[in-house]
Amino acid sequence: MKKQNIERMTKWRTDQICFPRDLNIHDPHEMYAWADNKPWWLIPLQVLGFVATGVGLTLCLYYATVILFLL
C-alpha cells in the first residue's frame, strides 16, 4: 500500500473512536447529577452482609474439606 492510503486509513480509524463524553447527549453541559442520599442504616447492613459472607464461605470450605478428606 502507498503511504498516503495508510495515513488516510489511520485517520479514518481514529475518527471513529468514541469517548463516553461523546455519548452524553441528555446532559451535555454536566448540569445534573444523582443525589448522594444514603440512609444511615445502609452501612450497618453492608458490614453485616460482609461478615455473613465471610462466615458462610468459611463454613462451606470447612464442610467441603470434611466431606472430601474424612469420608
Written as nine digits, the cell of 42 is 445502609
Mean pLDDT for the chain overall: 79
DSSP assignment string, 6-51:
HHHHHHHHHHT---GGGG--S-TT----------TTHHHHHHHHHH
How many angstroms separate the CA atoms of 61 and 57, rounded? 6
Q: pLDDT by residue (tens digit) across 12-65?
A: 555 566 666 666 677 777 787 777 788 999 999 999 999 999 999 999 999 999
- Confirm whether pTM is higher than 0.85: no
Rounded to an integer, what distance in angstroms lies between the CA atom of residue 41 and that of residue 47? 10
Q: What percent of the chain has pLDDT over 90?
A: 38
